[in-house]
Amino acid sequence: MKKILFVCTGNICRSPSAEAVFRHFTVQEGRELEFEADSAGTHGYHVGEPPDGRAIKIAEERGISMEGIKARKVSVSDFKKFDLIVAMDKGHYNFLENMMPVGSQAELALFMDFGNNKKNIDVPDPYYGTDDGFRKVIEMLEGGAKGILKNSF
């Protein structure tokens, strides 16, 4: 089983949405037994909280469930547990790169490097915006999640 962790800042918008989208597509493709997905934040602002209500709403509009997802903070032990750790933006990538222990076997990647042949692009933080920002983000996440499944890292 391949284990993947999606990471953003507070783990209530982008990374839980990526986790939910990725899980949704694994089920659609009948590959849910091949993967374990989780999400975390670089900061512990929202530990234990569910995803932002706007993220839940936009996911539900697309038939994607975020049920059971609760925010948590990324830890050093995640670099032992997960095969692939995916950052939502370059700031998260740099944070994770600095946190990565010597000898870690986890692969570290930027999320959009898997999406639609676009490299080195950030998934924007929709937190301070409107529902439209959340819609744009989930569309980006759908493309990236499909790319991860296609490449199976």
- Exactly one of 8, 13, 38, 52 is catalytic; which is it? 8
Look up tokens 């936009």; give the residue. Answer: 58
Is 83 a known active-site residue? Answer: no
Exactly one of 23, 54, 78, 125 is catalytic; which is it?
125
**Is 38 in the active site?**
no
- Residue 108: partners with Cβ closer than 8 Å, 6 or more residues away: 85, 87, 93, 96, 97, 100
d(CA 46, CA 150): 32
Q: Which helix (H) or strand (E) is 141 found in, with range?
A: helix 131-151
Is 8 in the active site?
yes
Residue from 13, 14, 52, 89 carrying the catalytic annotation: 14
Cα separation, 129 vs 127, whole angstroms: 6
Residues taking part in catalysis? 8, 14, 125
